[in-house]
Amino acid sequence: MTPGTCATCHNGTTARGKASNHLPTTAACDQCHRTSGWTPATFSHAGIASGTCATCHNGTTARGKASNHLPTTAACDQCHRTTGWTPATFSHTGITPGTCATCHNGTTARGKASNHVPTTASCDECHRTTGWTPATFSHASVTPGTCATCHNGTTARGKASNHLPTTAACDQCHRTSGWTPATFSHAGIASGTCATCHNGTTARGKASNHLPTTAACDLCHRTTGWTPATFTHAG
């Protein structure tokens, strides 16, 4: 018989052909089998259809993907080679979105740096595997109230020197969708510092006909309602 012509007869009609559960391959029968003994076959991956590894490597027919394998929908042969299973030529193609930290945990692969911005977002919301930097930054998932962790004047632009005195977090008044105008809130303003802003320039100050007093505005007035004032002779 001419080598490679087995299927001319072994076609399921003239003689028994390839079984329905045979591994997917385009190789001729005699690449693995011998007429002197059909089994065991001298197996060769040559001719195995690309992307069909898991047809056999399913944990039953042949060893499958390990339980601690990185999460991916990619076929084995996108990263591994039959000539040498390891090292694998790794490709992020097929990695399930949002699962970066499954490998990038500081053990399996390099994880988030200790000085990374505080966020619960997945790596791929900002970073790309084609180029880790620059990142397309998104404030989505940044922990509320932690603006100053980055906006400290070093990592990112911080509070201006002429900013009104307040202990409030940036996001109590500002929005990432538009820094200005800010939805101002007096929450967090240090007691007794009203005149720092209410000086007639930054914000409306004491009227010229105001009763003479050295008391801070908030001794009598309230931000919830400027009038009526709760008058006190103190000061």
What average pLDDT does this structure show over 66-80?
Answer: 84
**List of E strands, 115-222:** none
pLDDT at residue 145 greater than cutoff 80? yes
Token match 């060769």: residue?
44
Provide the pLDDT confidence category of residue 132 given band limits of 50, 70 and 90: confident
This prediction's pTM: 0.43
Task: Supply the pLDDT for residue 137.
Answer: 82
Determine which of 98-102, 109-113, 187-191 has the lowest per-residue pLDDT on average.
187-191
CA–CA distances in Å: residue 85 to residues 31, 47, 73, 182: 22, 17, 18, 57
Task: Supply the pLDDT for residue 38.
Answer: 82
pLDDT at residue 67 greater than cutoff 80? yes
What average pLDDT does this structure show over 199-221?
Answer: 88
Determine which of 37-41, 59-63, 92-96, 164-168 has the lowest per-residue pLDDT on average.
164-168
The rounded distance, in Å, linking the Cα atoms of 223 and 217 is: 10
pLDDT at residue 13 greater than cutoff 90? yes
In sequence order, the 6+-apart residues with CB closer than 8 A to the CB of 224 are none
3-state helix, strand, coil in the chain (%, to 5): 15, 10, 80
What average pLDDT does this structure show over 17-40?
Answer: 84
- Give Cα 98 to chain centroid, integer Å: 5
Task: Supply the pLDDT for residue 14.
Answer: 92
pLDDT at residue 109 greater than cutoff 90? no
Residue ranges of domains in the chain? 1-57
Provide the pLDDT confidence category of residue 8 given band limits of 50, 70 and 90: very high
Provide the pLDDT confidence category of residue 49 given band limits of 50, 70 and 90: confident
**What backbone torsions phi and psi does residue 219 show, to the nearest 5 degrees?**
-75, -25
